[in-house]
Amino acid sequence: MFKTNHSGKFSGERVFAALMLALLMLASGFGLPAALAGSPHIGTTAVPMASSGLKLYGVETIRGKRKTPSGEERSYTLYVPKATDGLPKPPYPMVVLIHGFLMTGAQQATNAENLSERGFIVFTPNITKVLLGDRTRMDNVHDIIDHIKWLTGKDSPVAGIVDSNRVAIGGNSSGGAVILEIALEAQKMHVPIAAMCSLDGVIWDRSMDRVKLLQPLKVLSLRCEPSICNEHARLLSHLQELKFPIDDVKVVGSHHCDVENPTTLRCSCVCGVTNNRFRRLFAQLLYAWLRDTFEAPKFSDNAPTFAAMVEGLQQGNKVIARLNQPVSLWLSHADQMKSDIR
């Protein structure tokens, strides 16, 4: 159920403080029980999308560091499609994928490779792992906006091949909180971001009253079953403040770590046993949504649209979805909210 503090507000800060302590203990050597660590049901491996028979792009991987407005030197990995005969030429759309709490860009590496093989430039920055305090959080937000301005500028390593009108941001877990603030700040600064994908994301307390300020853009809420690690899906209840429709898809039975690709054993121990089947499904849904949002090319004549894919999964009871609807429309009744979120 939704937990509140004495003021009536969900205490997300306390949830994440407790989660941070648990993860730090695991990372510091408490480890996993031997039986759990050896379980075949824990899928921590990288899971590529199926590509048999498909002609895809080769991928150039560029790793680097750059000084940002916060004064920090931030490391990053950039995935760039290689020009390939018979495949569409640049410019390519760009996706910025932001990792979650205590993680790094490595937890989005295979998602990035999957997308880049299919014609997307993908940027995975390493941000501050422990996002406590407004100053630290907003330093990360403004640093990523600066990354985007750099990448779409004339001195970028992808200058001339990136389409600055087709930029998306995606964030997993606390990275979902980061992208919401990025979208809000970027609109104030006139930095064009066309789409935003929350990958089982959470929301910061500071953002709750600001959601309604977000101007229309394409939004996908791609989420797992409610748990402590996604703050029991409280982000969704705040997205009903948006004045425009979004897409929302919950993958039935999935856990918080399934969105990472690859994930870690310590994430699985805290946030629930993870499954490579779900990991592949999240990768497929993310790609199909981005492809259709940016009208990117398909690599198979039989590839379904995102909407058709979701419809088929919904008929098989694998997802619960609302496409192109205002969240307020279907969260207007408590019973409906309980049924679909929980």
| DSSP letter (8 states) at residue 40 | T
Asked if residues 191 and 164 have their Cβ atoms less than 8 Å apart, the reply is: no
pLDDT bin (cut points 50, 70, 90) of residue 265 is confident
Asked if residues 256 and 229 have their Cβ atoms less than 8 Å apart, the reply is: yes
Q: Give the pLDDT confidence score for residue 328 in this predicted structure.
A: 87
Asked if residues 44 and 264 have their Cβ atoms less than 8 Å apart, the reply is: yes
Cβ neighbours of residue 278 closer than 8 Å, sequence gap 6 or more = 43, 224, 251, 253, 254, 255, 258
Q: Give the pLDDT confidence score for residue 40 in this predicted structure.
A: 36
Query: Does residue 131 surpass a pLDDT of 70?
Result: no
Query: Does residue 269 surpass a pLDDT of 50?
Result: yes
What are the C-alpha distances in Å from 216 to residues 113, 147, 168, 184, 211?
A: 29, 22, 14, 11, 11
- pLDDT tens readout for residues 100-118: 877 787 889 999 999 999 9
- pLDDT tens readout for residues 301-315: 889 999 999 999 999
Bond into 157 cis (ω within 30): no
Query: Does residue 173 surpass a pLDDT of 50?
Result: yes
What is the domain partition of the chain in residue ranges?
55-341
Query: Does residue 213 surpass a pLDDT of 60?
Result: yes
| Fold designation for 55-341 | Rossmann fold (3.40.50)
Q: Give the pLDDT confidence score for residue 341 in this predicted structure.
A: 55
pTM to 2 decimals? 0.88
- pLDDT tens readout for residues 25-49: 554 444 433 333 333 344 567 888 8
